[in-house]
Amino acid sequence: MQFMYVDESGDPGVYTGSNSPHFILSGLILSETEWNRTLRELSDFKRYCRDTYGLPIGTELHASELIRIKSIDDYRKIRKADRLRLLEDFTQNVASIFRSGKVLNVCFDKKSHPKLAEFQTIAWTRLIQRYDTYLRKSVNDQGVIFADDTDEPLIRQLLRKMRAYNPVPNQYGGGYRMVPTDRILEDVIMKASDRSYFIQAADAVAHCLYRREYVKGSLRKFRVERYFDHLEPILLKKAAASDPLGIVRK
């Protein structure tokens, strides 16, 4: 059995100039045989954060708040440079802790898709298709999906539909073939990120991909746009052959 933990960055609406210019989904995939080890090492990292940065073990690791605090008061006790060092530490440790797993990324630049009115459905469709392909062709296994709280009815209906109707363009020539997503069991299971170290790790991946794609000048001195590079060894590059990092973009 394979588990995929998913979080998103950005909002799914059309870009208006005042909202996010992107919508990203990142999924961390690991085998059930690695789950206990992975949890132990994530727990070890939380203790490291306590001892090194003074962050209480029970405080959620939330990438965007580490950069710009909004509601997590425990972060206010840590200097910004140290918070960003903590985030880089986390991305490095995600690559190490999930060393036997994979990271699957879907990233839509909204300006590149002016005809799309809603990005969540198409992004989740791409994520589900790639995960199902990975289960079928790479590991010959079945899987489940856990996600941070999102539009549960939409995702549930989408996955159920794709089990029966999932047209995929033919690789050579025109037309489509039907490839039901029959390797993914159950509906997507929603979990609050503050209750799951695994979804917190997926949050870090998604946000660091956002920072790589949309570089902010004021953060260059901290090299935030380079944090995503630490994940290169575990990226599922087969997910998009046209992209050097396997990021699905259309």
What pLDDT score was predicted for residue 173?
Answer: 67
Give the C-alpha separation, 58 to 14, whole Å: 36
- For residue range 86-136, what is the model confidence (pLDDT) as tens digits? 999 999 999 999 999 999 999 999 999 988 889 999 999 999 999 999 999
Q: What is the DSSP string of 111-171?
A: GG-TT-SBSHHHHHHHHHHHHHHIIIIIS---EEEEEES--HHHHHHHHHHHTT--EEE-S
Percent of the chain with pLDDT over 70: 99
In a domain, 128, yes or no: yes
- Going by the DSSP 8-state scheme, the letter that residue 35 receives in this structure is H
8 A C-beta contact, residue 147 and residue 188: yes
Number of independent structural domains in the chain: 1
Give CA 82 to chain center in angstroms: 24
8 A C-beta contact, residue 80 and residue 221: no
In a domain, 245, yes or no: no
How many Å from the N-terminal Cα to the C-terminal Cα in the chain?
Answer: 28
Taking alpha carbons only, the member of 66, 55, 32 closest to residue 204 is 66
Q: At which residue do the structure tokens 């392909």 appear?
A: 133
What pLDDT score was predicted for residue 85?
Answer: 97
Mean of the per-residue pLDDT values for the chain?
Answer: 95
Residue 32: which pLDDT band, with cuts at 50, 70 and 90? Answer: very high
- For residue range 173-221, what is the model confidence (pLDDT) as tens digits? 678 888 899 999 999 999 999 999 999 999 999 999 999 999 998 899 9
Residue 22: which pLDDT band, with cuts at 50, 70 and 90? Answer: very high
The boundaries of the domain holding residue 165 are: 2-239
In a domain, 247, yes or no: no
Q: At which residue do the structure tokens 């839509």 appear?
A: 108
Q: What is the CATH number of the domain that holds 122?
A: 3.30.420.10
In a domain, 250, yes or no: no
pTM of structure = 0.95
In a domain, 132, yes or no: yes
In a domain, 248, yes or no: no
In a domain, 69, yes or no: yes
- For residue range 144-163, what is the model confidence (pLDDT) as tens digits? 999 998 889 999 999 999 99
